[in-house]
Structure 1
Amino acid sequence: MKLHPLKLIECPRDAMQGLHDFIPTALKAAYINLLLKVGFDTIDFGSFVSPKAIPQLKDTREVLAQLDLSHTQSKLLAIVANLRGAEEAATFPEISYIGFPFSISETFQQRNTNAGITKSLDTVKQLLELCDQQGKTAVVYLSMGFGNPYGDVYNNEIVEHWASALVESGTTILSISDTIGASTPAKIRELLPLLTERFHHTEIGLHLHSTPETRMEKIEAAYHSGCRRFDSALKGYGGCPMAKDDLTGNLATEELIAFLEQQGESLQLNQEKWEEALALSAAVFQT
């Protein structure tokens, strides 16, 4: 099994988006600026979606204007829900990656992007063309990748079918998303090798949502199944507000870091800036 280089994607956008109390723009920017100095491969920092859908992120443009990218190797990723959002994101030279949630649950795709699966595949194709033209890279999230709460049919064959359609369309980074925390270590060990072995030229990552009690076992299963692209958020904050009301959090970055270091991975992270981000998170998330 071919392993891609290890990449850690820190997701303050995902951590913040479901919070009801609006986080001041300057505080958002200060927090992300600290994360930019830690040494993560990518910072998932904001989104270009309707403020009615995600009011917490209505200031993404203003946050971007306050980010200091002069002393960071981290790249910025922004999430979009349609081609209009992608076209706007593509106008910012600071943004390297444009992410799009492609759900294999018809119900969730309609809830999340107001479009069905078939139309959303067309959107992905247009996004890929746009990224090629604008020097960006698309990250496609295969959401509800481990099941859904709506009763929509789910199995490995459906996951593989849509993964194949996305890869054949030109997707080079595919992140399998456990939007509601439905994955188990056994399911991760079953599904991930199936995809990485078939699509070995595609960078396949995991965006797992989880309860605190099951985070570590999922991290371990993912790593030993060949995952080298991990999405996580400091302290496991966040979740998907479009999925259901009670949010299941992200993988906790500090737990992911500890596990990877135990495996002998050289992460080369700035521990001082990481500690500063941990300290500031109490004000950001009011914990």
Structure 2
Amino acid sequence: MSDKVQLVDCPRDAIQGIHSFIPTGKKVAYLQRLIDSGLFDFLDFGSFVSAGAVPQMADSEDVVRAIGGKSATKLIAIIANERGAHTGKKYSAIDYLGYPFSMSETFQRRNTNRSIDEAFDTVKRCQEILDGGPALMIYVSMAFGNPYGDTWDPDIVLGWMEKLSNVGIGKFSIADTTAEASPEQIEQLFGQVRMEFPDAELSIHLHSRPANALSKVEAAYKAGCRIFEGAIMGYGGCPFAQDDLVGNIPSELLINRFGRSGHIAIDLLMDEFQQMLRHEL
């Protein structure tokens, strides 16, 4: 097993629930600083979804055009349907388009207005659309359970991942969308997934209250995870999950834990993130 750890910063997840619109220019400047920092291997920068559903992401096309060409940091954008796939395919700077595929029927309908079976059909159609374009990756949301009482067990996760693998998906983000998982559950499930899908590229997207964040990261690392997703200062969460959002794993925690250094220090990025949030409309 390789000891090399890759890091993903998710400014999209950090700011998508903020109600006041952050000007496009400020987003672009901040994202470019993240890219220039050399701290992150991937950047989840935006989403091509309905502006009515996520107003903060309405300018994602303008953002990716301003960021420009390819860099060492791979770009990820989220889509929810075929229209998003068509939009994302236009931009060569984008490496991956991520589709949120939930293990909870309730959450799949909240998030994409589709059943799980309908979402699977959407994935297949998006795969066809993206042939020759960005790769489609899957966010396995509610992978560790859900707060809605929907049936869950590890076999459901493994079963859907097998079906998705069979239609060509090779990159998965295993997501604890509402911080349901204990460190023990994280280690157990991620270990099972890694064993069942040894050729897949697997990352983990954890939400956690600060007191439990490091123990969850350690559990995933112990289970073989080598790609970790976070957000500066732990901001964010899915606005469709529940009212009381639980934050992301702080990127600065991941950088400190894995000894990552870059051209721009993390404390400067934290300052710039806060300045972006203090924008004047």
1:169 aligned residue: 167
RMSD value, Cα: 1.6
Letter in 1 for 2:66: Q
Q: Give the partner amino acid of 2:257.
A: F
Q: What is the Cα deviation at residue 225 of structure 1?
A: 1.0
The 5 Å alignment of 1:177-256 reads 177-256=175-254
Does the 8 Å contact 1:33/1:68 carry over to 2? no
Contact map agreement 1:4 1:203 (CA 8 A) in 2: no
Q: Name the counterpart of 1:52.
A: 52
TM alignment of 1:38-117, pairs within 5 A: 38-39=37-38, 40-69=40-69, 72-117=71-116
1:93-152: per-residue Cα shift (whole Å, max 9, x none)? 111110000001111101100111011111112222333x23311110110001111110
Q: Which residue of 1 aligns with 2:263?
A: 270
Give the equivalent residue in structure 1 for 2:133.
135
Q: Deviation at 1:168?
A: 1.5
Distance 2:83 2:89 in 1: 10
Cα deviation for residue 284 of structure 1 reads 2.0
Q: Deviations over 1:195-241 (max 9, x none)?
A: 10110001111111111111111111111110011111111111000
Amino acid at match of 1:280: E
Q: Aligned in 2, Cα 1:214/1:114: closer, same or farther, shift over 3 Å?
A: same
Letter of the 1:77 counterpart:
I
> For structure 1, which runs of at least 5 residues remain unmatched after alignment?
262-266
Q: For residues 27-38 of structure 1, what are the structure 2 equivalents within 5 Å? A: 27-38=26-37
Contact 2:9 2:44 in 1 (8 A): yes
Structure 2, gaps ≥5 residues long: none
Equivalent in the alignment of 1:264: none
Deviation of 1:271 (Å): 3.5
Q: Does the 8 Å CA contact 2:68/2:93 hold for their aligned counterparts?
A: no
Matching residue of 2:8: 9
The percentage of aligned residue pairs carrying the same residue is 42
- Under a length normalisation based on structure 1, what TM-score does the superposition of the two structures give? 0.92
**Aligned partners of 2:236 and 2:248 also within 8 Å:** yes
Per the normalisation by structure 2, the TM-score is 0.94
Q: Extract structure 1 runs of 4+ deviating beyond 6 A.
A: none
For residue 41 of structure 1, report the CA deviation from its aligned partner: 1.1
Residues 34 and 276 in structure 1, CA contact (< 8 A), matched pair in contact too:
no
Q: Secondary structure at the match of 1:157?
A: helix
Q: Deviations along 1:153-203, whole A, 9 cap, x unmatched?
A: 011111111111111221100111111011110001110110101100011
Shift of 1:6: 2.8
Structure 1 residues 3 and 193: CA distance shift in structure 2, 3 A = farther
